[in-house]
Amino acid sequence: MRRENWQKFQVDLGPMQPPLYVNRRSRNDLKSAALRFLHNRCEELHFDAEKETSEAETGIYLGKSLKSGQIPYNMQKDIDRMCLEKALGDFIDSGVAEDAYAVYYCYLEIFFGQYGKSRRMVELLSEYESNGSSLLMKHRDHYTHSVYVFALGLAIYETNSDVRRIFREYYGIDPDDGNIEASRKAANLYLEYWGLTALFHDIGYPFELPFEQVLSYFEVDNHERGKGTLFLAYRSVESLTGLDETAAAHFSTLYHRTFATTSELFAHDIAEKLGEAYSFSEEYILDVINRKPTQPDEFGYFMDHAFFSSARLFCELEAIFGVKCLTAMHVDALSAILLHNSLFKFAIAFYKDKKPEKRKAPLRMELHPLAWMLMLCDELQCWDRTAYGRNSRTELHPMSADFDFSSHAISAVYYYDEAEREKTDAYLRELEAWKAGQRDSEPRLKAYSDMVGEKPRFTGDIEKIVDTSFIPLTVTPNLCRPDRKSKHTYLSGSNFLHFYDFAVALHARNMPKGTSRQAMEEKFAALSLEYQLSTLNRARHFAHYLDAIRCFYTDKPVGYELVTRFSPADAAVFAPMEHERWIREHQAMGWRYGTAYETLSLDVPAEEMRAARTALREQIRCHKLTMDGRLTHDIIRDHYNRLPLSDQGKDWKPFNNLLQLLKEFDGTRIYRL
Identify the three-state secondary structure at position 135: helix
Q: Does a structural domain hold residue 155? A: yes
The β-bridge relationship of strands 473-480 and 622-623 is unpaired
Q: How much helix, strand and coil, in percent to the nearest 5, is found in the chain?
A: 60, 5, 35
**386 and 358 assigned to the same domain:** yes
User: Is it the case that residue 340 has pLDDT exceeding 80?
Assistant: yes
Q: Does a structural domain hold residue 666? A: yes
Lowest mean pLDDT among 6-10, 54-58, 238-242: 6-10
Q: State the amino acid at position 193 in one-letter form.
A: Y
Q: Would you place residue 31 in the very low, low, confident or very high pLDDT band (cuts 50, 70, 90)?
A: very high
**pLDDT of res. 557:** 81
**411 and 374 assigned to the same domain:** no
Between 510 and 238, the higher pLDDT residue: 238
Query: Domain range holding 548?
Result: 489-591+626-673
Beta-strand ranges (E) seen in 481-549 are none
**455 and 573 assigned to the same domain:** no
**272 and 317 assigned to the same domain:** yes
- Radius of gyration for the alpha carbons in the chain, expressed in angstroms and rounded: 27
Q: Does a structural domain hold residue 554? A: yes
Encode pLDDT of 61-84 as tens digits. Answer: 999 999 999 999 999 999 999 999
CA distance 381 to 369: 18
CA distance 83 to 90: 11
- Exposed/middle/buried for residue 178 (C-beta within 10 Å: 0-12, 13-18, 19+): exposed
Taking the CA of residue 130 as centre, how many other CA atoms within 13 Å lie in the half-sphere pointing to its CB?
Answer: 13
Q: Does a structural domain hold residue 458? A: yes
**559 and 418 assigned to the same domain:** no
User: Is it the case that residue 395 has pLDDT exceeding 80?
Assistant: no
Q: Does a structural domain hold residue 82? A: no
User: Is it the case that residue 502 has pLDDT exceeding 80?
Assistant: no
Between 335 and 5, the higher pLDDT residue: 335
Q: Does a structural domain hold residue 206? A: yes
Q: Would you place residue 228 in the very low, low, confident or very high pLDDT band (cuts 50, 70, 90)?
A: confident
User: Is it the case that residue 387 has pLDDT exceeding 60?
Assistant: no
Encode pLDDT of 543-575 as tens digits. Answer: 888 899 999 888 778 889 988 888 889 988 989
* Domains in the chain, number: 3
CA distance 347 to 19: 47
Question: Can you list the alpha helix ranges (DSSP code H) found in 256-348?
Answer: 262-278, 282-294, 305-321, 328-340, 343-347
Question: Chain-wide mean pLDDT for the chain?
Answer: 88
Question: Can you list the alpha helix ranges (DSSP code H) found in 112-234?
Answer: 119-132, 143-159, 161-170, 180-199, 205-219
**pLDDT of res. 230:** 85
Handedness of CA 615, 616, 621, 622 (dihedral sign): negative
Give the list of residues 6+ apart from residue 308 with CB closer than 8 angstroms, or none: 203, 204, 206, 207, 208, 240, 293
**220 and 314 assigned to the same domain:** yes
Last residue of a domain, one of 349, 374, 394: 394
**pLDDT of res. 130:** 54
**345 and 447 assigned to the same domain:** no
**470 and 493 assigned to the same domain:** no
Neighbour-count burial for 308-332, b at 16+ CB within 10 Å, e otherwise: bbbbbbbebbbebeebeebeeebbb
**297 and 430 assigned to the same domain:** no
User: Is it the case that residue 266 has pLDDT exceeding 70?
Assistant: yes
**453 and 418 assigned to the same domain:** yes
Encode pLDDT of 602-630 as tens digits. Answer: 899 999 999 999 999 999 999 999 999 99
Give the list of residues 6+ apart from residue 469 with CB closer than 8 angstroms, or none: none
User: Once rounded to an integer, what is the mean pLDDT over residues 419-444?
Assistant: 90
Count of CB atoms situated within 10 Å of the CB of 201: 31
Q: Would you place residue 190 in the very low, low, confident or very high pLDDT band (cuts 50, 70, 90)?
A: very high
**pLDDT of res. 389:** 42
**What are the φ and ψ backbone dihedral angles of 179, each rounded to 5 degrees?**
-85, 95
Question: Can you list the alpha helix ranges (DSSP code H) found in 542-629?
Answer: 542-548, 568-588, 606-620
- Exposed/middle/buried for residue 147 (C-beta within 10 Å: 0-12, 13-18, 19+): buried
**pLDDT of res. 489:** 67
Q: Does a structural domain hold residue 438? A: yes
Last residue of a domain, one of 366, 394, 422: 394
Asked if the bond preceding 151 is cis, omega within 30° of 0, the reply is: no
Alpha carbon distances (Å) from 348 to 351, 355, 357, 360, 558: 8, 14, 13, 8, 54
Q: Would you place residue 136 in the very low, low, confident or very high pLDDT band (cuts 50, 70, 90)?
A: very low
Lowest mean pLDDT among 294-298, 386-390, 496-500, 656-660: 386-390
Q: Would you place residue 662 in the very low, low, confident or very high pLDDT band (cuts 50, 70, 90)?
A: low
**pLDDT of res. 133:** 46
**332 and 224 assigned to the same domain:** yes
User: Is it the case that residue 219 has pLDDT exceeding 80?
Assistant: no
Lowest mean pLDDT among 286-290, 489-493, 582-586: 489-493
Identify the three-state secondary structure at position 477: strand
**pLDDT of res. 128:** 55
User: Is it the case that residue 129 has pLDDT exceeding 60?
Assistant: no
Q: Does a structural domain hold residue 81? A: no
Identify the three-state secondary structure at position 412: strand
Encode pLDDT of 505-538 as tens digits. Answer: 888 877 887 778 788 888 998 999 999 999 988 8
Alpha carbon distances (Å) from 152 to 162, 248, 405, 452: 16, 35, 10, 23
Alpha carbon distances (Å) from 406 to 161, 376, 473: 11, 17, 11
Crossing angle of the two packed helices 119-132 and 305-321, in degrees rounded to 10: 150
Give the 3-state DSSP-derived string for 281-305, with helices as H, strands as E and coil as C. Answer: CHHHHHHHHHHHHHCHHHHCCCCCH
**What are the φ and ψ backbone dihedral angles of 64, each rounded to 5 degrees?**
-120, 145
Give the list of residues 6+ apart from residue 534 with CB closer than 8 angstroms, or none: 582, 585
User: Once rounded to an integer, what is the mean pLDDT over residues 323-337?
Assistant: 97
**338 and 468 assigned to the same domain:** no
**pLDDT of res. 576:** 93
* Element holding 410 (H helix, E strand): strand 410-417
Last residue of a domain, one of 441, 460, 481: 481
Q: Of 234, 235, 216, 240, which is closest to residue 226 (Cα–Cα)?
A: 216
Q: Would you place residue 209 in the very low, low, confident or very high pLDDT band (cuts 50, 70, 90)?
A: confident
CA distance 159 to 161: 7
User: Is it the case that residue 391 has pLDDT exceeding 50?
Assistant: no
